[in-house]
Each structure stands twice: as structure tokens, then as C-alpha cells.
Amino acid sequence: MSFKGQLDAFSRKTEGNMALATKKVLIDIGARLVERTPVGDPTLWAGPAPAGYVGGRARGSWQYSIGSPAVGDTGNIDAAGSATVASITASIKPIPGIHYITSNLPYIQALEHGWSSQAPGGMVGLTAIEFSNIVDVAVRGARR
């Protein structure tokens, strides 16, 4: 193989590894955010739940986008979080750019800042602390 051919092969391999690592990082971050998001539990509330209340709106609100943050609310209710993680995973585009995993609920910042006794440390801040480790694990797993 020529030197140019070797460089081309190295470039393809590196691009593939970067795409795998990027996707793994985004999946792990999305899953952690969703799993850490509390689900409304009226038994913990000072007052009664509104009629017909179903918890899981905050968990279902996380969404992935690339290039700019998503706008609007998903309207999803996902107490288990599995459908939201699956949606994030399916929509990831492991290409160069700025990737976002966002929630646009009006009360998501309150949840982040300890409003819920189920997530007193929030979701985003804890995940941000783990970011370097998440990347390290993804890069090690992407090397082929």
C-alpha cells in the first residue's frame, strides 16, 4: 500500500472512531440526564396532586439536537425514561458540530437546583462533573 493509501486508511479509521466515541458520549449523557430527572410523586408533596396528574413529563422532555438547541416542549410523558433515551439515541448524528441535549420545560431549572427531594443535586450539574470520565470510557471503547 502506498503512503497516501496508508494515510487515507488511517483517516477513515480515525473518523470512524470519532463517530463511535461521539455517539457513545451523547447516549451516555442523555441516559444519565433522563435517569436523574425526578418523576412527580404526589405522596411526597405538601398538597394534593391535580386531578388526572401523571408523573413523567420532565423525564419525557429531554431532546437531542445538533447545531442549535431544540425549541419547544416534546409534550412526552415518560415516567420510566426508556422511550426518551431511545428517542435521543435514534436521533443522534455523530458528525462534527455542537450537540445539545435539552429540556425546555419551564420548571426544569427549578428541578436542576434542588426543587425535588428526589434529585436534590440536580441532573445536569452531576452529569457535567462526570463528563471527562464519560469521554474517557467512550474513547477507550471506540478504538479499533
Q: Write the DSSP string, 12-52.
A: HHHHHHHHHHHHHHHHHHHHHHHHHS----GGGSSSPPPTT
Residue 82 lies in a domain: yes
**Residue-range definition of the domain harbouring residue 62:** 11-38+51-142
Enumerate the β-bridge partners of residue 65.
100
Note the pLDDT of residue 143: 75
Q: For residue 144, is pLDDT > 60?
A: yes
Q: In sequence order, what E strands does 52-141 have?
A: 63-66, 99-102
Of 4-18, 56-70, 75-89, 108-122, which range is least confident? 4-18
**Mean pLDDT computed over 56-70:** 98
Q: For residue 8, is pLDDT > 90?
A: no
Residue 2 lies in a domain: no
- For residue range 32-47, list pLDDT tens digits in order: 999 999 999 999 999 9
Tally of structural domains, the chain? 1
Q: For residue 7, is pLDDT > 60?
A: no
Residue 84 lies in a domain: yes
